[in-house]
């Protein structure tokens, strides 16, 4: 891939991560379900595009585990997106499956030394929080996407991770 093409791919991916981070967080804190669904739809599309592009970027760079992690993240985000229009109550099955995939993806992306140590730790913390959320959901706990403490307090950790990835991708290799 040419340098110009890689730079464009990186900028689009970083923009998608930022848009996903902002609209995902907004969707978590707004009240009207229609506005929440709209924000989460924008978030999901942006994150699927961004993580798909990052899959290509890291696969071409030969960093296969990270590339596969971004692919799993895109799949998890797609699963979450499938439940968005159903509203908070109707989205619970998609939430369970999606956050389980997020947890796996975050571990895959954070395991190799591709990103800065602080970012890998952040990603691992987010993975643990979403693994607990998924376990509770699959165990029958009555959690909604906005339930507190989890998954509500896991989202800011994910947002910080997404912004860290965006910063790293734009900054380029150190």
Asked whether residue 174 carries a pLDDT value surpassing 90, the answer given is no
Number of domains in the chain: 1
> In this predicted model, what pLDDT tens digit does every residue of 29-65 receive, in sequence order?
998 899 999 999 999 999 999 999 999 999 999 999 9
- pLDDT confidence bin for 173, thresholds 50/70/90: low
How far apart (Å, rounded) are the C-alpha atoms in residues 135 and 100? 8
Predicted pLDDT at 4: 83
pLDDT digits (tens, 9 = 90+) for 113-169: 999 999 999 999 999 999 999 999 999 999 999 999 999 999 999 999 999 999 999
Name the pTM for this structure.
0.95
Which ranges in 61-154 belong to alpha helices (H)?
Answer: 64-84, 87-90, 92-110, 117-138
Q: Phi then psi for 30, rounded to 5 degrees?
A: -85, 155
pLDDT at 5: 85
pLDDT at 171 over 60: yes
CA distances from 111 to 21, 63, 85, 117, 171 (A): 22, 11, 33, 10, 20
Range of the domain at 31: 3-171
Categorize the per-residue pLDDT at 14 as very low, low, confident or very high, splitting at 50, 70 and 90. Answer: very high
Task: Please check the confidence at residue 1 and state whether its pLDDT lies above 80.
Answer: no
Q: Which of 15, 36, 26, 157 is nearest to 91 (CA)?
A: 36
What pLDDT is recorded for position 169?
96
């Amino acid at each position: 891939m040419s340098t110009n093409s890689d730079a464009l791919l990186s900028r689009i991916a970083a923009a998608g991560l930022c848009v996903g981070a902002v609209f995902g967080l907004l969707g978590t804190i707004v009240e009207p379900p229609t506005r929440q669904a709209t924000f989460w739809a924008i978030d999901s599309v942006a994150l699927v595009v961004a993580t798909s592009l990052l899959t290509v970027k890291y696969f071409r760079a030969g960093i296969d585990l990270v590339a596969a992690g971004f692919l799993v993240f895109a799949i998890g985000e797609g699963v979450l997106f499938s439940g968005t229009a159903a509203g908070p109550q109707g989205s619970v099955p998609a939430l369970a499956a999606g956050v389980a995939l997020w947890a796996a993806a975050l571990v895959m992306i954070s395991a190799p030394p591709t990103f800065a140590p602080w970012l890998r730790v952040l990603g691992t913390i987010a993975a643990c929080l979403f693994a607990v959320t998924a376990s509770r959901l699959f165990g029958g706990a009555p959690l909604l996407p906005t339930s507190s403490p989890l998954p509500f307090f896991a989202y800011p950790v994910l947002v910080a991770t997404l912004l860290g990835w965006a910063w790293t991708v734009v900054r380029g290799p150190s």
